[in-house]
Amino acid sequence: MNEDVFSGLWKQFRGEVKQFWGHLTDDDLDVIDGKRDVLIGKLQERYGYTRMDAEAEVDRFVHEYESRVETGPDNPYTYK
């Protein structure tokens, strides 16, 4: 996922990130602030993931999120 797209959607899925990775604190989420690389680093720190595993988890999360959200011209979650 493009870093800009991830950052642009942060407000929409910040709460879902917290639910998906329950060990992340609100302070962690403030630091992450939609930055994919920072989220990956926090997952490594909180869960002991390797960088490759953390990237795979983030990609899986984003893919699942995108598959749940209908995209279209009138939808606020449109990615294109």
Q: What's residue 3's pLDDT?
A: 59
pLDDT tens for residues 13-31?
Answer: 898 899 999 999 999 999 9
Which residue type is seen at 78?
T
Asked if residue 18 belongs to a domain, the reply is yes
Asked if residue 22 belongs to a domain, the reply is yes
pLDDT tens for residues 56-73?
Answer: 999 998 888 877 776 545
- Cα 71 from chain centroid? 17
Report how many domains make up the chain: 1
Asked if residue 78 belongs to a domain, the reply is no
Domain enclosing residue 58, as ranges: 3-68
Distance CA 42, CA 22 (A): 12
CATH number at residue 44: 1.10.1470.10
Q: What's residue 65's pLDDT?
A: 80
Average of per-residue pLDDT across 33-55: 95
Asked if residue 10 belongs to a domain, the reply is yes
